[in-house]
Amino acid sequence: MQNWEDCEKSLGVSFANKSLLKQALTHSSYINENPDFVLLGNERLEFLGDAILDFIVAEKLYKEFPELPEGKLTAIRASLVCRDALTEVASSLGLGDYLLLGRGEEASKGRTKPSNLANAMEAVIGAIYLDQGLVKAKKFVLSRLRPRLRKIKAGKITLNYKALLQEFVQRKKTLTPVYRLVEITGPGHEKQFTAEVMVEGEVLGKGTGKNKKSAEMEAAHSAWEELWRKESLPTPTLI
């Protein structure tokens, strides 16, 4: 049984409407297995939280870096609000312990799935906004993302080209890039992975790395640079 008071303590937020917090942490699988449950799943709150998160971070970067053009601001924002960043914050808050999951999702380690944690984090932001208002939501978001912003400014976190590429492709074509592992070479201790990224069946970029994740990031980087040449996209350097 979830202890919602402990969850509130972890978040540093005392909800006036406790059901908002509960809904933010309710996975669709739980609703499917509990049709009499009075709340909805967290998808709607996730939708709202995603928009609020983007606004808060965009405003923060706009004010903090008055000299940066749109492209550089977009690059930093993408690295602040990407799934990895949200998963990291959600994990630090222990949100996985409070998720309401269906039995199948529970059995498949749903409490530690990056997608579940990132989605719950956005839903919690949406819930805080509805319950406490924008000022409180802003305080919560910025306090949690401040350490990551410092690392980005110090060059300790590289830009998330997968997030940048996805944002651009979805805005232009309302599609999502598809990554495909095409080759694995080398001995067991020094394997080399090669991945491609495609949109509508067209290969936009190819990359290699020591694991699947790094190969996909390199493919996204390659695709971004190719699109930059074709579309005159802003160069995504930081400062």
Q: How far apart are CA 57 and CA 90, in angstroms?
A: 17
Kindly indicate the confidence band of residue 238, based on its pLDDT and cuts at 50, 70 and 90. Answer: very low
Active-site residue, selected from the candidate residues 46, 88, 122, 218: 122
Cross-strand partners of 203: 198
Is residue 236 over pLDDT 60? Answer: no
**Is 236 within 8 Å of 72 (Cβ atoms)?**
yes
Active site residue 225: no
Q: What is the pLDDT of residue 154?
A: 81
Beta-carbon count within 10 A of 16 CB = 8
Domains of the chain in sequence order? 4-153 (1.10.1520.10), 161-231 (3.30.160.20)
What is the overall mean pLDDT for the chain?
A: 88
Query: Kind and range of the H or E element at 190?
Result: none
Across 12-16, 70-74, 104-108, the highest mean pLDDT is recorded for 12-16
**Between 138 and 153, whose confidence is greater?**
138
pLDDT single digits (tens) 50-60: 999 999 999 99
Closest CA to 208 of 177, 232, 236, 184: 184
Other C-beta atoms within 10 Å of 57: how many? 22
97 is catalytic: no
* Helix 43-64 vs helix 114-132: crossing angle, to nearest 10: 80
pLDDT in tens, 162-172: 877 887 787 77
**Would the pLDDT of 151 be above 60?**
yes
Identify the band that residue 239 occupies on the pLDDT scale cut at 50, 70 and 90: very low
Reported confidence tier of residue 237, pLDDT bands at 50, 70, 90: very low
- Whether the pLDDT of residue 112 is over 90: the answer is yes
- Active-site entry in 50, 88, 105, 218: 50
What is the rounded CA–CA span in Å between residue 6 and residue 14? 10
208 within 8 A of 192, measured Cβ to Cβ: yes
Query: What's the pLDDT score for residue 233?
Result: 54
**Helix (H) / strand (E) containing 24:** helix 18-24
Give the pLDDT of residue 1. 64
Q: What is the pLDDT of residues 201-217, one digit of tens each?
A: 899 999 999 999 889 99
Average pLDDT over residues 45-74: 91
Q: Given a cut of 50, is residue 102 above it in pLDDT?
A: yes
Give the pTM. 0.74
